[in-house]
Amino acid sequence: MTLSNGAAPPPRRFDAFPLGWILALAALGWAFAVYRGVGPVPPGGARSWLEPGGWLLDVLAATSLGAWLDTPLRGLVAFTLPALALAAAVFATTRSALARTLSIGSLIAVAVFLFYGLGGNRAAIWSFFGWRGSAVMTLFALVMAAAFCAPFLGASWLRRGWPLRLALYLPIVAVVVVALRDVTGTNPRLAFAISPWPVVTMFGIEIGASVVVLLVAAVALLLALAASSRLAVGGRVAAIGVVLGTLVALAVLLRPQPGLAFAVAACALAAAAIVAILRLAPGRRDGLAFAAHASAVGAILVALPIGVGLAWVDRDYTATREGAAKQINEALKHYFERESGYPDTLEELVASKDLPAVPMPQVGFGVDGEPAFTYQNFGTSYILEFSAPRWVQCAYNPPWGDEDLEEEEEEGAAAEPAAPPSADADGVPGEELASNDEAGDAVSDAMPGSWSCPRKPPELW
Cis upstream peptide for 454 (omega within 30°): no
Give, in order, the Cα–Cα distances in Å from 299 to each of 137, 141, 247, 380: 22, 17, 15, 54
pLDDT higher than 50, residue 269:
yes
Structure-derived torsion over alpha carbons of residues 210, 216, 222, 225, reported in degrees to the nearest 10: -90
Mean pLDDT (whole number) for 67-72 = 69
pLDDT of 167 reads 94
Query: Per-residue pLDDT tens for 368-379?
Result: 667 788 899 988
Task: Share the mean pLDDT of the chain.
Answer: 76
pLDDT of 89 reads 97
Long-range CB pairs of 260-264 (<8 Å, 24+ gap) are 260/206, 260/307, 260/310, 260/311, 260/314, 262/207, 262/210, 262/211, 262/213, 262/214, 262/303, 263/210, 263/213, 263/214, 263/303, 263/304, 263/306, 263/307, 263/310, 264/303, 264/307
Cis upstream peptide for 258 (omega within 30°): no
Query: Per-residue pLDDT tens for 185-199?
Result: 555 554 444 444 455
Higher pLDDT, residue 269 or 120: 269
User: How many DSSP H helices and E strands does the chain contain?
Assistant: 17, 4
pLDDT of 362 reads 83
pLDDT of 426 reads 35
Closest-CA residue to 426 (of 134, 39, 122): 122
Mean pLDDT (whole number) for 302-328 = 89
Query: Per-residue pLDDT tens for 201-227?
Result: 666 778 889 999 999 998 998 888 877
Instruction: Give the range with max mean pLDDT: 35-49, 395-409, 431-445.
Output: 35-49
pLDDT higher than 50, residue 229:
yes
Mean pLDDT (whole number) for 151-175 = 93
Model confidence at 3, pLDDT cuts 50, 70, 90, reads very low
CA atoms lying within 13 Å on the CB side of residue 344: 0
Model confidence at 173, pLDDT cuts 50, 70, 90, reads very high
pLDDT of 285 reads 63
Instruction: Give the range with max mean pLDDT: 165-179, 225-239, 257-271.
Output: 165-179
For 352, other C-beta atoms within 10 Å of its C-beta total: 14
Maximum CA extent, the chain: 107
pTM for the full model? 0.76
pLDDT of 104 reads 98
Instruction: Give the burial class of 399: count Cβ atoms within 10 A of its Cβ; 0-12 exposed, 13-18 middle, 19 or more buried.
Output: exposed
Higher pLDDT, residue 42 or 383: 383
pLDDT of 32 reads 96
Among the listed ranges 84-98, 101-115, 378-392, which one has the minimum average pLDDT value?
378-392
Higher pLDDT, residue 23 or 64: 23
Query: Per-residue pLDDT tens for 341-369?
Result: 899 999 999 999 999 999 988 877 876 66
Query: Per-residue pLDDT tens for 427-452?
Result: 333 333 333 344 334 334 455 677 87
Percentage of residues in the chain with pLDDT exceeding 70?
Answer: 69
Backbone angles phi, psi at 404, to 5 degrees: -100, -5
**Sequence-distant (≥ 6) Cβ neighbours of residue 148 within 8 angstroms:** 104, 212
pLDDT higher than 80, residue 158:
yes
